[in-house]
């Protein structure tokens, strides 16, 4: 592992140069990777592993929409697609990629097939970190590792197909075999990571839950709504309000940030935009800092985990979720967005 300095802090990272795909294939040549769950992360990771020449099978509940999706993606029932318990029996590395609620439900089945020498792989630190609530405690003799791509499974797959990679964090919770570090690095490269940076299960879930509720999803959605509503109540048209709030950010400015950083994006905007952005960023930072402090405390206390588990176990959760997403989708903001997207060349 290389030592690289980020913002004055030295971190351990793994790059494709020092751990190339050929090395990952060699490490995993005698393994059977059983990907449990074919919802959010499962398809991207499983397909990337398969395309990279790793022996992969998928475990999913038969008759579900995800089972049908796996069939449509080319997985073959009885050969590479199995019920979850059968996949657990066959796999030497169990990639536990069910939802957090699904992991709790499936854990008794998975646990009994975690025989010594196998590896249990997560893409989220939730189940292990909040074990008092999830009751997920791996048996002795099993490696417990984590690869957490910093994005959706859809993005992981799209970037892989484009010849690129999505950065991932990695962690080893338990090295029972003496091969856990080698295994996790090989898996991280084989699922299509750009580079790997080290964390632990607790830090991964704390940062992940904060990020999802904050800048990545919750905060950005709230800020979009606030600015859009402000423009609309001051007489701006829906199209103008959406373009100034969402379209310009996602289609023009964020790609510039991704390319060379925020300062470079500022440098490639008008002097009027630069001055306003530099002045107002301080006000926005100070305004939202207390909200982020509250959010992190809610994550660290376990409150967010408790809410997620409780909601996820409600029998009508999916129906309620659909209603919430429908409300979002049918708002003027996002109805306007749907029309704007159709007008893109």
Catalytic site includes residue 236: no
| Residue-by-residue DSSP string for 61-97 | -TTSHHHHHHHHTT--BTTTEE-HHHHHHH-SEEEE-
59 closest CA partner among 78, 43, 39, 81: 81
User: By the 8 A CB rule, do 119 and 143 touch?
Assistant: yes
Which residue among 124, 135, 236, 282 is the active-site one?
A: 124
Q: Is 153 exposed, middle or buried (0-12, 13-18, 19+ CB in 10 A)?
A: buried
Neighbour tally for 233: CB within 10 Å = 9
What are the structure tokens assigned to 86, written together? Answer: 């059968």
What are the structure tokens assigned to 323, written together? Answer: 């209603």
- Coil, strand or helix: which one is 216? coil
Lookup result for tokens 């699922």: 191
Q: Tell me how far apart the alpha carbons of residues 319 and 212 are, in angstroms, rounded to a whole number.
A: 22
Angstrom CA distances, 336 to 214, 230, 342, stand at 24, 15, 10
Work out the angle at residue 203's Cα, subtended by the Cα atoms of residues 168 and 163, and round it to the nearest 5 degrees.
Answer: 5
User: By the 8 A CB rule, do 88 and 60 touch?
Assistant: no
> How far is residue 122 CA from its own chain's centroid?
11
Phi-psi region of 59 (alpha: psi -120 to 50; beta: other; left: phi over 0): beta
Kindly list the catalytic residues: 124
């Amino acid at each position: 592992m290389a030592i690289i300095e980020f913002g004055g802090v030295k971190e351990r990272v793994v790059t494709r140069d020092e751990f190339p795909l050929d090395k990952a294939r060699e490490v995993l040549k005698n393994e059977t990777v059983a990907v449990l769950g074919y919802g959010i992360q499962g398809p991207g990771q499983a397909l990337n592993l398969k395309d990279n020449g790793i022996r992969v099978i998928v475990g999913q509940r038969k008759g579900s929409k995800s089972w049908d999706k796996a069939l449509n993606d080319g997985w073959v029932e009885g050969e590479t697609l199995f019920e979850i318990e059968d996949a657990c029996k066959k796999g030497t590395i169990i990639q536990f990629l069910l939802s957090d609620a699904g992991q709790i439900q499936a854990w008794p089945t998975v646990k009994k097939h975690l025989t010594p020498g196998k590896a249990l792989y997560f893409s989220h630190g939730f189940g292990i970190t909040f074990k008092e609530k999830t009751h997920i405690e791996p048996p002795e003799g099993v490696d417990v590792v984590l690869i957490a791509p910093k994005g959706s499974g859809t993005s992981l797959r799209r970037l892989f197909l484009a010849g690129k990679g999505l950065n991932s964090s990695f962690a080893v919770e338990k090295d029972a075999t003496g091969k856990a570090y080698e295994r996790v690095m090989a898996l991280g490269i084989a699922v299509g990571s750009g580079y790997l940076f080290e964390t632990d299960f607790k830090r991964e879930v704390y940062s992940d839950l904060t990020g999802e509720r904050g800048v990545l999803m919750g905060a950005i959605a709230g800020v979009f709504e606030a600015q859009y509503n402000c423009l609309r109540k001051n007489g701006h048209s829906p199209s103008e309000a959406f373009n100034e709030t969402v379209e310009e950010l996602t289609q023009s400015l964020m790609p510039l940030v991704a390319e060379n950083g925020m300062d470079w994006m500022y440098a490639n905007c008008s002097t009027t935009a630069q001055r306003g952005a530099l002045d107002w960023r301080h006000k926005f930072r100070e305004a939202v800092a207390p909200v982020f402090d509250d959010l992190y405390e809610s994550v660290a206390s376990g409150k967010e985990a408790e809410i997620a588990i409780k909601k996820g176990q409600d029998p009508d959760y999916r129906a309620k979720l659909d209603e919430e997403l429908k409300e979002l989708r049918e708002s003027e903001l996002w109805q306007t967005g749907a029309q704007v997207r159709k007008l893109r060349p």
